[in-house]
Chains A and B, each alone.
Chain A
């Protein structure tokens, strides 16, 4: 039994191993040496070329900026909105909640043409706002926050109200500190989500100077000469941050993904 799982684990890890190894082979050896599962010659030359011949560093920085912007904005919208849905009664609340849940079923491919026209008309094509804002109101994100906020003790909030705290003080000083674990989880999930996203940034950006990593890697592999070595080096560097994050925050990521379904999109 143990042996079976060892084999399985090797099979599942192998493509990742292969990506790293292929990125480290000397130039032109990716296919020639493909039978060398443990390579005899390693070289960091591909990585040097990746940074010298391609705007990889720019893409990496773009990814960090865009991912950060998206995650912060998404978490802000979902935390405030989730609090309103969980702790206040107001007209049309249930209707709105159902609308948000139904919107979760809409495939993004229905929206690509209309959103594309919208960002062009709004002058948001080729901008970070254009890449971030249309994705930021995540239905599953607000649902996740609402579920968490429901568990916050009403009596604690009411006691503060009796003491004369304003609603905004209550939110800042009581709700936010109590929701910290959920906020952290959502922040991580949003980061992974944008970091790995291809479709929307691909539509928003035409200028390679603005690409995030996913779009940049897509460009690398589709150049006139398939540059597998550069692509593998680029893919490796794009994957490493997520894996590092995962090893520090494994429990949160796995539990977060298990409760939000297919990821936060």
Chain B
């Protein structure tokens, strides 16, 4: 094996072989990009949230007035409410549904369970842009969903994309389509870790499958469930592409599809109000920070470290 190692070592100057230097040589590429494009922009964004911009150049300090503006903005409270309702909505669907499906797929009672797992997972591979365009077509006034409701079920057509109240349900529908397979995957890795003996001894005691689900599966899945809940909250609060595509870069009828991330983008690149956009960014970051801390507190560093 070591034959291949006999290379002239002095191609690289001696300094770089010094014991204290070596780790930093390996670290340098990542660290440079990380500090310039991740750490510095965070600091800059916080600074910008206290400044007022005329175009991209001249800026002056305005103290907390950006934040005051944000909280006085009707659209901001609407965006915050929408995003919160959306997040809760996705939790109500995207926890129980994938959990039950994962348990059923894992139970050995479904033939070809891998095929179903893969088919339900496929939407997670499509880009959110594609998810948005496809659902914009399906939810259109003369789109498939309405024709199906009308023609097959005899119901009235709904103006999915034109009524404020239907904006969040439409977004939750897209989320369900895109993330169910992914969450099944998470629950599945939780299920694999439940010791089989628990079920065996319960079976000897004559427990019904339903009883076993309630008294073994659910409690043993609690860490996984918690992990998925926190991930969904963090993801939910950052929802952007789906409404951005569904409403052609706007916010939907009556701002019904206006989310926090969408409002930040529009404040920055439609109104060119960088200071206010930065302040909104800081507020969004704080919301996410709180939920991430909960995750850290209960799960160690990243949830999956062992």
Within 8 A of A (CB), among B1-53: 2, 4-5, 7, 9, 12, 16-17, 20, 22-24, 26-27, 29-31, 33-34, 37-42, 44-45, 48
Chain A residues closer than 8 Å to B142, beta-carbon distance: 31, 34
Distance, CA A106 to CA B45, complexed state (A): 12
**Nearest-Cβ distance from residue A134 to partner chain B, whole angstroms:** 4
B105 nearest in chain A by CB position: A5
Distance, CA A203 to CA B142, complexed state (A): 33
B37 near A133 with CB under 8 A, answer yes
**Nearest-Cβ distance from residue B78 to partner chain A, whole angstroms:** 17
B288 near A105 with CB under 8 A, answer yes
Known interface pairs A34-B143, A221-B245. Does A78 touch B284 (Cβ–Cβ under 8 Å)?
A: no
B169 within 8 A of A: no
A12 near B119 with CB under 8 A, answer yes
| Bitwise interface map of B from 112 to 133 toward A, beta carbon under 8 Å scored 1, else 0 | 0001101111111111111101
A51 within 8 A of B: no
| Bitwise interface map of A from 94 to 126 toward B, beta carbon under 8 Å scored 1, else 0 | 001001110111111111111111101000000
A114 near B302 with CB under 8 A, answer no
Chain B residues closer than 8 Å to A221, beta-carbon distance: 133, 136, 245, 248
**Which residue, of A117, A143, A258, has the highest number of chain B Cβ atoms within 10 A?**
A117
A116 near B268 with CB under 8 A, answer yes
Distance, CA A257 to CA B120, complexed state (A): 15
Known interface pairs A106-B42, A160-B2. Does A15 touch B135 (Cβ–Cβ under 8 Å)?
A: yes
Chain B residues closer than 8 Å to A105, beta-carbon distance: 234, 285, 288-289, 292
B33 near A110 with CB under 8 A, answer no
B104 within 8 A of A: yes
| Bitwise interface map of B from 234 to 257 toward A, beta carbon under 8 Å scored 1, else 0 | 110110110011001100000000
Distance, CA A35 to CA B282, complexed state (A): 47
Chain A residues closer than 8 Å to B265, beta-carbon distance: 109, 112, 199
Distance, CA A157 to CA B138, complexed state (A): 57
**Chain A, interface SS category:** helix
Known interface pairs A12-B177, A83-B26, A232-B137. Does A110 touch B126 (Cβ–Cβ under 8 Å)?
A: no
A134 nearest in chain B by CB position: B37
B182 near A257 with CB under 8 A, answer yes
| Bitwise interface map of A from 47 to 68 toward B, beta carbon under 8 Å scored 1, else 0 | 0000000000000000000000
B29 near A81 with CB under 8 A, answer yes
Known interface pairs A81-B31, A137-B30, A262-B231. Does A107 touch B137 (Cβ–Cβ under 8 Å)?
A: no
17 new A-B contacts at CB < 8 Å, known A22-B137, A77-B29: A12-B122, A12-B123, A12-B177, A16-B126, A81-B30, A84-B26, A101-B301, A116-B269, A221-B136, A228-B137, A235-B129, A235-B130, A239-B127, A242-B127, A243-B125, A259-B304, A261-B304
B residues touching A (Cβ–Cβ < 8 Å)? 2, 4-5, 7, 9, 12, 16-17, 20, 22-24, 26-27, 29-31, 33-34, 37-42, 44-45, 48, 56, 101, 104-105, 109-111, 115-116, 118-131, 133-138, 140, 142-144, 147, 151, 177, 180-182, 185-186, 188-189, 231, 234-235, 237-238, 240-241, 244-245, 248-249, 260-261, 264-265, 268-269, 274, 277-278, 281-282, 284-285, 288-289, 292, 301-305
A residues touching B (Cβ–Cβ < 8 Å)? 1-2, 5, 8-9, 12-13, 15-16, 18-19, 22, 30-31, 34-35, 76-78, 80-81, 83-85, 88-90, 96, 99-101, 103-118, 120, 133-137, 139-140, 142-143, 147, 160, 163-171, 173, 192, 195-199, 203, 213-214, 217-218, 221-222, 228, 231-232, 235, 238-239, 242-243, 246, 250, 253-254, 257-259, 261-262
Q: Can you list the 3 inter-chain pairs with the closest CB atoms, starting with the nearest?
A: A81-B30, A196-B127, A88-B23
A-B contact pairs, 17 of them (CB 8 A): A8-B120, A12-B123, A12-B181, A15-B177, A16-B122, A77-B33, A80-B27, A103-B38, A107-B261, A114-B45, A133-B37, A163-B2, A166-B12, A173-B4, A198-B128, A238-B129, A254-B185
